[in-house]
Structure formats: structure tokens, C-alpha cells
Structure 1
Amino acid sequence: MTLTPNATQPGLWINPDWTPGTPGTFALLIGVSTYDHLTGGAGKKTENSYGLGQLAVSAWTAYALFNWLRTSYQYGPAPLAHCWLLMAPTADEATKIAQAVTSGNGPDVLAHNLLPSFANQEIAISFWNDAMSRLPKGAAAASRSLFFFSGHGLEIHLREQILLPADYLGLPNTHNRALNVRKLADAMTKLAVCDQFFFVDACRNTHPDLAVLNVQGTGFLTISSTELVNSACNSAILYATATGMPAHQHNSPGNGYSLFGQALLDGLQSKEGFVPECMPAPCSVQLAPLQRFIGQRYNQLLTASGWNTKQYIKLGSEPLDLYSVVTQVTSPTVPAPTLPSVRELELINFTKRLDISLERGNTYSGPSYRINREQYTHYADTTNPLTNEPMPMAPPSYHEVGNEADSGYPISLPESGASLHRILGRESVTAFWSESRLYSLDTKRWLKNKELPLSLVEQTTYSAVSTGYRLTFQLNLPGNRYWLQLSDGETTYGIPLPPMTMFQAGNVPSYRLDFTVTADGHVPDLQANLAHGSGGSLSRIADLWEKYQTVDVSSAADMVDMDFLHGALQQKMASPFAALVGATVLLQARRYDLAEGDWLRNLANWFPELPDGLVVRNQWLAQTSASDSRDEQIANVLLLHGRGIPYTGEAFSLAVLQLDRLLESDVPDARQQRALKRVHGQLREALRYFRPGGLLAVYAGKPGSFTPATLGYV
């Protein structure tokens, strides 16, 4: 189709064949590669760039999306109407774009470009929103919006990310001058435009020094009270990465687009293995299959590019329709190749595994894994830490895969520094684990070291400068609530472990820590999950959460066993934590048909030791627009003041979001306002150290910067 520049609005392109007042697609694309005030920028450098510098292909990727809209986008009910394009290209990108314009006989986007500064983004977003708000009601309901951003991003919490403009930190102490994509999406829910798609190609990790500043950004638009929200709004935010993770792109436009951008374009055009839905005709690209495909394709591109890591593509919102049509496509003419799943690629990458038993007096009897036998050949005499008696030297008992007649002898493996170092392979990792500390939240006492037996060590080389580790351990101690603390000397991590009473009786929970270690021994990131093999309901929940993380929410929801979840609550102490995780997945998938009845209310009220249940119940009330639910939502949030902060990262992020939205709306009772602000202040204090990513909440900061009590784990 033809797109013509609007003479009065730089960056705005209009389809002359679209009739104003009829349904249309309204797009806004932003690509920021050059940041004038960050490291390597052309302008005055800010005092602290927080590790942020220049990018190489974000503008080139945004242009590719523009070209796709111009030449290939199809959606019969709502053809492309307007498209705003804001780019800050490098010199190489500008050359590449100019060549593409010439060779493709396209419009001169560089001559009509709008620089994506903070002020210009505000202008473009305001006019973009205004164009849709002026549509007649019927036309608006059949219309849709499409947002794409590629550039630097910083994550605040699981459902809140800020996207940095080209002039970020150009003025002193202006960390909030950035786009908050969640606030933008919330504000746009007042539009009568039903389908709203946000594609965010930006990192979701945050520099620790920036995290403690409590940066919140802006959505530019005014957020409406809940009474004005369009209940039919199908708002979907698709992130290029899982929470706490970086996004990836090539170092030159000659090598391609960003990896998320390439995978997104492949899916939108039904290429490289994407299978569209063709019943009924016409064939279409739907949201949930697109998310699943991008995850597979992105990881395939990572492998092809030499990045020995994994990536998850995540939804950052709760769309009404997970199978809404993003675009229509022609029917594929060639069979689709089979793409490896994220889990399959992960297993390929984690090639070094060692199953061990560090429980005193227990012999190793686990499965066999391929390891380097030469590395594990001798253990010195050590002392049993329980009896203080000498432990004799013993031969190794490690097995090679496929060697059924292994001649190794079973041994009791002492948890000495020497043996741990042989297992973990690096002094910094040995110190990181062996110097970990466990704190009893009930007795307010630090426990002795060595209370957490390792059962599995996994390792992979993520890159030339960092190594990936997975440590699986068990917690089988008397008492109830615990806090695990680890430190590399530069950063301290704290992990609240859910109450032991929230797990099925007889099932000892196994946890898994995923982290990377740089060449200088620093641990820049850490995630905590339930581990496979925990037994009973916990293994099932670990599998469920992994599918939610690595595939897509709809696929995870399909494996939820409702009889099991109902039983987990009806039997009360069977496994409330398992019910919590299952409920979280069902809500994100909007499977309200499976979440009816009182079981979410019971989850919130029967188990005061698990404050996450209150948050999940509130999310159900909010997402279903349950009538007269405002008072219950407020009451549930206020109960967090006494029950404490949630244990799961998902519930913590939702709690922050719920409080933000309640305080942004009109709460007429002044006493309730004060109480809400008190809880909000506690959550915001914890948010300064919150590091999202895995199932369990993780906090990180400089040594001594926080304690369980200051974060609200009372």
C-alpha cells in the first residue's frame, strides 16, 4: 500500500486509501539506537550511564516493521490507517535504510523522521491516542492499535518496564523521563479500540544503582478511573525476554535485525516454520501461537549467532483473547520445519551435570550423568559435621552415561571446602554457595551453615566471559519460614522460602538457583525456582511453571489438573502452594471457567501464612470486573500489612500493580487512602531491591543494604 507523509506532523505516515471515520489499524513504531548522553553518545555524557551505551540495529529493526506494515500487513476489517515512525539511527543504519528505500522504491523515511526524544515520544503518543479516540464508536470497536519499541529498557517489576528515549539523562536527575509501557497500556484501556498489541524489544534487567532510585517513568496519557475503562479492551504486551533478562541484537545492521525483531517479523509473515491458523479462512497469525513461535525462533537465532544462552518470550499483560488475530497471511506453500523448544535447547546447553548427595550418612544412588571423570578422583579425609568424627577416604562413585556396569563404589560425600570446589569447579562459586546463610523468620535467628544439601549441580558456558550454573538443593528443617542469603562480596541476594506448611506433607521441597558468574567471580543475576524431582504435587507444579516460563501461558493452562488443585485446597494442608501456582497460571491465561467458585477466596482466607493468595484473589476480582469488588480488593491489600510480603515474584509484582491502580483511582475514604499508602510504601521499599525472574521472589543489593525485616518479611 502507499503511505504518504503528513506535512504537519513529522514521523506520521497516512494511508491515502483509508477513509477517515472507518475502522483502521493505528501503529506507532520507535527504534532508538543512538543515545546522546549515555556511554559512546555524541552529546554531553551523564555522570553515571549505569552500564548503558549505544545500540546497533534498533532503528533498523523499527524500519523493518514499518516496511512490513507498508507492504505486507493484512487485516481486512481494519486496514492500516496511520503509522508513526520515530528513529534514532546510527550512521550505518541510516546508510542501510537509505539503500533499502532506494532499492525498494519506498518512501523517504529519513527525510520525514521524528527523533524519539522524550518530548517527541510524548507528542507522537498523544496524537496516536487522539486519532483513535476521535473514531466513531462502531468504527473504533473494529479498529486496532499496534505499538513496537526497540531500544534500551529497564525493568521495575514483573509487569512494569520503562523504555528509554534517545535523550535519556540529558538533564540532571531526570531518571523518570522515560516511557512506562504498563502505564501507557493502562491509559489506553479507555479507548473504544478493542485490540491493542504492544511488542517490546528491550532488556528487562536493571543496574542495581538505578534500581534503588525507585524509577517509575510515565505513560504520558492520563489514566482513567476504573469506571471509564473499556471492559472489552484486549490489551496484549509481548516482551522480547523474560523478566530480569537482557534482549539481544547484532552489532551491525549488515548482520541483521534484533533477534526479537527478526523472530517477530518471521512469525508475522508466516516464515521459518510459523504455521498460521487457516480454519476458518483467511489464514491468520494469532497471539498465543505467535508467542510460542517467537520463543522457538529467537532461541534458534541465538544458537546460530553463537550466543550459548536461552531466551523466554513473555506476556506482560492479561489479554482478553490469547488467540486474537494480529495479522492475516497467505497460506504457506511449503511444509514447516520443526523448531526445537526452549527446553530442548536448554538441555543441550546444560551439558555438564553432576548428581550428588551431600546429606550426611546417605550414599549416592541417583541417575547417571556424563561428567569429566578425571576431575573427580580423590577426596581428602574430612570430618562429619554432624558427629565431628573423621570420615575416611573413599573412591569416587561417578558414572558415565551408558556405562551400566560401573565399577565405582557408593560413598558418603563430605561437604568440605575441598570437595565442594571439585564439584563446583570455581573458587568464587564455591564461596558463593558454601558461605550462604539461612535465617529463620520465625525465631529471628541465623542458623548454622551447611543446612542445605546439594543434590544436583549443572553448568554451561553462556559466553566467553560468563558461566551459567544451576544448583539444586533441599530444605528439610523443622520450623516454618526461612530466608536464604548468598553473597559474592559485591552483591547480596535474599530469597524468602515459602512456609513449609504450605507444601504437601511428606514432600521435601527442592529448590533450584539459576545464576551466571563472570570471569572476575561476580554473580550479576540470580533466579530461584522449584526444582524437578521434588516429589508429588511439587514436581507437577515445577513442570507447570517451567511450561509457563518457556512456552506460553495457554499451553501451561492446558496442563492444569483442576481436580488436583481443588483437592489441594479442600484437603487444606495438602499443598496450598501448588494451588497458588496453578491459580496464577489460570488467571494469566484468563481461564475463568476453571477458576469459578470459592476456591480462590479459600486460598486467600484459609492460609494467612501465604499472603500471595490475597493477591491472586484480587487479580481474579480485577480481571473479571466482579461487581462490588472494590471494597474486597482494598481489604485484601490492606491485610498484607499484617501477613507480610508475597513469596512468589509473580504475586509480589501483581501486589505492586494492584496498589498502583487503586491509588491511581478514586478511593474516597481518607483513612483507607492512608492505609493503602502505608502498604504501598512497604512494597515500594522492597521493590528497590526486587529482582524478578523465577518463581520465587529474589532481592539483591549491596551488602548490608536490606534485611528480611526492612523488606516486610515479618
Structure 2
Amino acid sequence: MTYWVDRTASLKPGQPVTHALVIGVSAYDHLPGGPLTFGLKSLSSTAAGAHRFAVWLRDHYHNPRAPLATIRLLLSPTAEGEPADREHVRNAVLGWQEDNSRNSSGTSFLYAAGHGVMLSHEDSLVLLQDFAKDRMVLDYSLDIGSVYHGMAGDQFPQSQVYFVDACRLRPEVFARFANLGTGVGLPSPFAAADRRSSSVYFSAAPGTLAYGRRDGEGTIFSAALLDCLGGLAVEAAGAGEFHVTGASLLRTLQEQVNSRARQYNAEQYVTGGGTGLSHVVHYFEKPPAFPYAIWLDPDHARPFVRAEIWDGDRNGLLADGRFEPNPASWDLPAGLHSLDVIVKPGDNRFRTRSGVALLVDGRQARPKVVSVE
């Protein structure tokens, strides 16, 4: 297959890089169908969510230790990339593994979205465009567990990230058959050393559903994921470095997906897997900024005070102004900052407040209250 993005010519030969494989299926050739199609129909949002993630990788992903080299993109329906049927997905998975076999210090991403069925609590299948082409219906699926196990070994990236945006249900028809086919996977040695730091994010808990957004612009999971990678899951690493780790992403994804599903009167719970969550998923070239709200107490003090917000070392003024309206909001970079609320000279009704700590991380639930009485 051809790459959707290929930057290898601009990178140093032999340097650690990032290779990504993105698969999204909304259109199914043989749905709805007979009893072996589990009552499924085509979808409206999974391919769109996968495409948005691929665009984020292309335009925003930052990893100075392993810059983006390639993206393989397979979508059904497709206006970009290649179709997400068995033949194309099989070639893409094998090619992605081959590229990564010479990339032990690099990073790999797999994003797969579509209808899903569950083989066990640990493994899942994502159904491909030609699912149910014949009676061996699961031949036309992607076996996430097989791909994951096939990427074990010291020759493969020791930092790996997997996103699986699919339902995790076990159809009742499974009880009537010993074999309905074998999904696309990877060969794996019987006893490969597995020292990688990998994180796996399932958009739904075992036995539950994953949901699309009503506007068709992706899924609840994909929208939450992009917001998390855009800054909601940021962590400060010291020395002015900000990044998203496997652990911070899991924690924030769980919060965000659960909250957004409730807006649709639904429940959806992200679950995680892998061998470790300490690795960095994404670095920020500069701290992400968030609106930060501050409530002045009492409100009638507004005409007589002004705010100054400084960086943590109090070397740089980040924002200043009056509390109009109250609460007032300023866009501030992530990190620990310092607030001064300065009273107009000669006014003894209120007191100046200096060095009030402001922790900006995108998770502010209610305004910070600062009293000048």
C-alpha cells in the first residue's frame, strides 16, 4: 500500500521515529445481512473519528525523540487513504510491522475503529468493510490481540500506543459455532521477550457499547481523545516540559468519555491495558493554554481592584486586567502561576492579595474564589 504521510526522506537515516496505522470503518458491504452478521448495520461516525485522529497525528503530534515518519490510513468509506477491507488492512498491518521491526527506540501507534465484537475480556475484533463476505465472517476483521502480541520483542518499538474505538459485545451466535474465521493479525514468536512500555485504550468496557456523536463528526471516544491530546491530559515534567503520558491519558479519557456519554443519556467506560503507562504519548512544543476563571469576593470590590497574573517564577507577566465581568477569565498556559489582586492606593475597605497560587491544567470545574475583604 501507499503511505498517506511519508516523511522518511526528511529524517536522519537510522534515527528513532514514529510509525502510525489508522483504520476506520463506517461503511460495510454486506450489512445488514443474515444471522451471522449479528444484526449489525453500517455506522455513521467511526471512519470520521479515525480520519480526525490521523489529521491530528499529521498536523499536531510532536515527539522530538521519535518524530513522525509515516501514517498508513485506511477508511471505509474513503475519500483519502485506502479502503479498510481485509486485503488492504492485511497488507497495511504487515507493512507497519516491518517498518517498526527496525525501530526499537521509536514509537508506534495503532488506531482502529468500527463495529467490534469481543472474544475475551482481553481481546477484541474490529470488523472490516467486507465483514461477512462469506460464511467465515470473522476472516474479515482485525484481531487486536494478535496484532498486539505480534509487536512484542526487542526489535520493535519499546513505546507503543493502541486505540480501539469499538463496541465490546459477545454475540449469542458465538455459542453455536466453534469457528467463524480468523481475523487479520501478526505472527508472533512463542516466547518473545516483552520489555516494551505499551498502553491500550478500549473505548468501551467488556460487554458494553461505544457510541457515535449525533452530528456524525466522529465518536464520543475520538472527540474526547483529541481534546485530551490537545491539552486536557497535560502533565508538567519539570524544566518547562509538558507532555501527555500513558497514565494521564487513561485517567483523563475515562473522565471525559464518561461525562460526554451522560450528555446522551448513555454510559460508556474506557478501559486500559498493556504493559505500562509511564511512557510519553505526546510532547508539547509549548504549554497548552486554557481559560481560567477567577471570582472576586466581594463583587462590589470590582471597581477598586485589578489583577496581575505572573508565571511561577514571577519573572513574566502573563495577563492583567479588571474583574469585568465577575468571574473574569484569562487564557493562561498550563502550569503553576501566581496571582496578585491589587487594591487601588488609599482604599482601606479592601486588602491586596499577593502570590495566590493558580494551578492551570484544563480541569477547572468552578472559578477560583479570591477574597479581598
Q: Distance in 1 between matches of 2:118 and 2:292?
A: 35
Paired position in structure 1 for 2:68: 80
Of 202, 207, 210, the match for 2:174: 210
Query: Helix, strand or coil for the counterpart of 1:141?
Result: coil
Q: What SS does the aligned partner of 1:246 have? A: coil
- The answer to whether residue 230 in structure 2 is matched with residue 269 in structure 1 is yes
Percentage of identical aligned residues: 26
Distance apart, 1:240 and its partner CA: 0.3
What is the CA-CA distance between 1:302 and the residue it aligns to? 1.6
Report the counterpart of residue 162 of structure 2 in structure 1: 198
Check the 8 A contact 2:198/2:277 in 1, yes or no: no
Are the equivalent residues in 1 in contact too, given 2:36–2:135 (CA < 8 A)? no
Name the SS of the counterpart of 2:112 in structure 1: strand
Match of 1:27 among 2, 8, 20: 20
Equivalent position to 2:257, from 279, 298, 301: 298
In structure 2, relative to structure 1, the CA distance for the partners of 1:234 and 1:336 (3 Å cut) is farther
* Alpha-carbon shift at residue 211 of structure 1 (Å): 4.8
Of the three residues 205, 208, 218, the one matched with 1:245 is: 208
Q: Distance in 2 between matches of 1:124 and 1:151?
A: 17
User: What is the TM-score normalised by the length of structure 1?
Assistant: 0.39
Q: 1:188 matched to which residue of 2?
A: 151
* Aligned-residue offset at 1:280: 4.6
1:334 paired residue number: 290
| Cα 1:148/1:187, change in 2 over 3 Å | same
Query: What CA distance in whole angstroms lies between the structure 2 residues aligned with 1:29 and 1:184?
Result: 13
Per the TM alignment, residue 278 of structure 1 is displaced from its structure 2 partner at its CA by 3.4
Instruction: Flag the structure with more relative contact order, 1 or 2, with Cα contacts below 8 A and sequence separation at least 6.
Output: 2
Residue matched to 1:179: 142
Q: What displacement does 1:219 show?
A: 4.7
Mapping of 1:68-467 within 5 angstroms? 68-89=56-77, 110=79, 113-133=81-101, 135=102, 140-190=103-153, 191-214=155-178, 215=180, 217-226=182-191, 229-253=192-216, 256-271=217-232, 274-304=233-263, 307-317=264-274, 319=275, 321-329=276-284, 330-334=286-290
Contact 1:278 1:331 in 2 (8 A): no
Matched, 1:13 2:5: yes
Count the aligned residue pairs. Answer: 289
- In 2, Cα distance between the equivalents of 1:31 and 1:164? 10
Taking the aligned partners of 2:74 and 2:92, their CA distance within structure 1 comes to 8
Amino acid at match of 1:13: V
Work out the CA distance in 1 between the residues paired with 2:234 and 2:196: 27
CA distance change for structure 1 residues 10 and 231 in 2, over 3 Å: closer, same or farther?
closer
Tell me if the contact between 1:75 and 1:328 (Cα under 8 Å) persists in the aligned partners: yes
Higher strand share: 2
CA deviation digits over 1:74-100, x for unaligned, max 9? 0100000010000002xxxx6xxxxxx
Q: Which has the higher helix share?
A: 1
- Hey, what's the Cα distance between the residues in 1 that align with 2:3 and 2:289? 36
Ranges in structure 1 where 5+ consecutive residues have no aligned partner:
1-8, 40-44, 95-109, 338-714
Q: CA RMSD in A?
A: 2.1
Q: 1:219 to 1:195 in 2, by over 3 A?
A: farther
Deviation at 1:46, TM superposition (A): 4.4
Structure 1 or 2, whichever has the larger Rg, is 1
TM-score for both structures, normalised by structure 2: 0.72
Aligned pairs for 1:482-631 within 5 A = none
Shift of 1:324: 1.1
Cα distance in 1 between the residues matched to 2:141 and 2:273: 18
